[in-house]
Structure 1
Amino acid sequence: MADEKEKQDMAWRAIGGLVGLVTAWAAKKILGFAWEKATGKKPPLDNDSLEVGLGEAIGYAVLMGVGMQVAQILAARTARKRYNAWKALKEAAKEVSP
């Protein structure tokens, strides 16, 4: 029984890691697009550069920080719900089979 739980935990870690990577990539693309549409400028690549205004650098950092965190929370919660539903179906199928 403990071995089965350990396998499920490993499966969730793998799924969670993959979801995290995909979410981060997609969120960065979407937030960069939103920044460009809102400001008319490409997102600053180097916030440490003195060529980027302080307000612009801080604004972009806030947008990315909050946006990335919200995306991660939503993706992780959705993935966890789907995984738990899949586990419940799997358990129900075990109980029904002879």
Structure 2
Amino acid sequence: MAGKTEKQDMAWRAIGGLIGIATAWGAKKVIGFAWEKTTGKKPPADSESLEISLGEAIGYAVVMGVGMQVAQIVVARTARRRYDAWKGLKDSAKDVVS
């Protein structure tokens, strides 16, 4: 029984990792687009550059940090629910066949 749980956990880790990468990429694109539409400026590429004001660098860091974390939480929870539901259906189908 422990082997089956370990395989399922490994499957979720692989799926979760891929979802995390895709979410981070997508969230960065969406947040960058929203920043540009809101401020009229491209997102700061280098927050350490003295050409960017301190307020703008901090503002972008806060928006990006919060936005990325919210996206990760929402997507990870949704994916986990769907994975668990799919796994439950898959396990119940095996019980019917057995």
Interval containing the TM-score (normalised by the shorter chain): over 0.9
Give the structure 2 partner of residue 78 of structure 1: 78
User: Normalising to structure 2: TM-score of the pair?
Assistant: 0.98
CA separation in 1, counterparts of 2:66 and 2:10?
29
CA separation in 2, counterparts of 1:72 and 1:26?
10
Amino acid at match of 1:86: W
- Gaps in structure 2 of 5+ consecutive residues: none
CA separation in 2, counterparts of 1:2 and 1:59?
47
Give the structure 2 partner of residue 52 of structure 1: 52
User: What is the aligned-residue RMSD (CA, Å)?
Assistant: 0.6
Residue 94 of structure 1 aligns to a residue whose secondary structure is helix
The runs of 4+ residues in structure 1 deviating greater than 4 Å are: none
- Per-residue CA distance 1:12-35 (angstroms, 9 max, x = gap): 000000000000000000000000
CA separation in 2, counterparts of 1:62 and 1:37?
17
- Equivalences for residues 1-80 of structure 1 within 5 A: 1-80=1-80
- Gaps in structure 1 of 5+ consecutive residues: none
CA separation in 1, counterparts of 2:88 and 2:7?
15
Amino acid at match of 2:94: K
Residue 52 of structure 1 aligns to a residue whose secondary structure is coil
User: Normalising to structure 1: TM-score of the pair?
Assistant: 0.98
CA separation in 2, counterparts of 1:47 and 1:6?
42
Percent identity between matched residues is 73
1:84 to partner: Cα distance: 0.2
